[in-house]
Structures are given as C-alpha cells and as structure tokens.
Amino acid sequence: MRLKCDIALLILAALLLQPLRADDSRYEYREQHSPDGIGKFYMGREISHVMGHGAANWLERPERNVEENTELLVKSLPVKPGEVIADIGAGTGYFTRQLAPKVGPKGKVFAVDVQPEMIALLTNRMAALNISNVQAFLGTTTDPKLPPASVDWVLMVDVYHEFSHPHEMMQAICKSLKPSGKVVFVEFRGEDPEVPIKPLHKMTEAQVRKEMSVQTLEWRETIGVLPRQHIIIFQKKSASASN
C-alpha cells in the first residue's frame, strides 16, 4: 500500500513540475458560458461556435449584398493587381471570387478553410466560373498552412471570432505576411445593439485592437462605410519595431 502511495505521489509531482502548455496559460475555460460559445475565453472574450458547412447556403443568400454591402467592402480594400491576398475562412468562396479579378491574372487569391467540405464547394465553384488565379488551402485550427512571407493582404470576414486558437492562428498568419503585409478584420459591430447578430458573433473595435496588441501587427485604420461591420486594418510591424 505504501509503495502505491509513493508511486502516485511521484506521478503527481512530475505532472506539477511540467511547464504549462501555452494554450493552458493563455486561455480561460468556464463551465458557465453562453450556449453560442465553446466555454473558452481569450482576453475576456468568449470564442463562438464555428459555422459549419451545413450553413453554406447562408453565405450565398441573395440578400447578403443588400444587408452587408459586400460589393462596397471589396471596393474599399486598396488591393492592387498582381498582389497576393489570402481569404481566411473562405467558405464557399463568396469573397474569393470577387477578389480574383481585383488582383488580376498576375495576382493570386489563397482561399483558406479548415473544413474539407467548404474547400470542395469552393474549388468546384471556381472551376465552374473559370477562375484560375485561386489556390485553395486546407488549414488547421492553429495554422492556415500558407507559405511564409508570401502574402500582401489577409482578409477575414466574420471569421476571427470563431478561431478556437486565435493567438496561435494569428501568429501563423503574421508569418505568412510579406514585410509590409496587411491584415483586414471585418466583424459585425459589437458596440451596436441594433446589429441583428448574436453577441458572440460580433466584436468591438477595441477588442480586436486589444487582441492584436500581442501580435507583430500595428493598427493602421478603421473604415466605417459598411452598414453593419467594421473594416479594421493592421500592418505587419517592421523588424526594428518588433525588437
């Protein structure tokens, strides 16, 4: 009996001496939480459930442009022909196919999603539309799997709030940026109770800027032209500013 107790104590001591995983120390887990969230919190914000591929039709709903003015969003992005833009959480490719002509035949759109079903929907749609400057990437919850220093722009439309590992994902995204690359967050305005979206699927500008303050990014501007969403733009810090 004494031997078993000693062994148990040794195992417990070994576990306690192990360093905490970054994930454990960075995030908070609560049993009491919103039914729309996963019970995991980052910098005070509960992470929402992911919208699955079963809701793909909602991304393609006919009234989306009227509700969100998606055409104005694309026009507001100062993306130039020949540049590379990554559409993170691309889903069915709703924005991917609008970005493809913006970067032109010499540019590229990297369409990233973590759901193979979404990738299949996207690639089939691009083929049907004869769009040839799109490359699909099946990412993970911590890494979009993009080549390092390859991207001029990263666009995330109503997706960042669903990242189960936002810190790790943004670290990986920053590594994919070219030295002067930019990241664009488009999120439903959490400050506005009139925006008819569940609270966990909205974000305040202050919260986005707070969470990006620990990344190698600097806030550049917030564009307020859309009826329901922020357009928040960050740029990768220079090497000297990061040190």
And the tokens for 78?
């100062």
* Assigned domain for 193 exists: yes
* Assigned domain for 222 exists: yes
* Assigned domain for 3 exists: no
Quick check: helix, strand or coil at residue 54?
helix
- Letter for the amino acid at 106? K
The count of structural domains within the chain is 1
Quick check: helix, strand or coil at residue 201?
helix
* Assigned domain for 8 exists: no
- pLDDT value, residue 190: 98
Q: What is the mean pLDDT of each run of 10 residues along the chain (243 residues)?
A: 45 39 79 97 97 82 94 97 98 97 98 96 96 98 98 98 98 98 98 96 98 98 97 90 58
* Assigned domain for 88 exists: yes
And the tokens for 130?
């004869």
Q: Which residues are paired to 160 by β-bridges?
A: none
And the tokens for 1?
């009996």
Provide the domain limits for residue 64.
21-242
* Assigned domain for 237 exists: yes
* Assigned domain for 74 exists: yes
User: Where are the alpha helices (H) located in the chain, listed in sequence order?
Assistant: 2-17, 22-26, 56-59, 64-68, 70-76, 96-103, 116-128, 166-176, 205-212, 239-242
CB–CB of 210/45 below 8 Å?
A: no
Quick check: helix, strand or coil at residue 83?
coil
136 contacts: CB under 8 Å, gap ≥ 6: 90, 111, 112, 113, 119, 122, 123, 126
**Residue 64 phi, psi (nearest 5):** -60, -45
In this structure, what CATH number is given to the domain that contains residue 162? 3.40.50.150
39 contacts: CB under 8 Å, gap ≥ 6: 29, 30, 31, 33, 46
Q: What is the largest CA-CA distance in the chain?
A: 74
CB–CB of 125/92 below 8 Å?
A: yes
* Assigned domain for 78 exists: yes
And the tokens for 183?
């990241």
- pLDDT value, residue 26: 94
What is the Cα–Cα distance from 128 to 240, expressed in whole angstroms?
46
- pLDDT value, residue 19: 40
- pLDDT value, residue 51: 82
CB–CB of 100/109 below 8 Å?
A: yes
And the tokens for 198?
């569940």
What is the Cα–Cα distance from 159 to 41, expressed in whole angstroms?
16
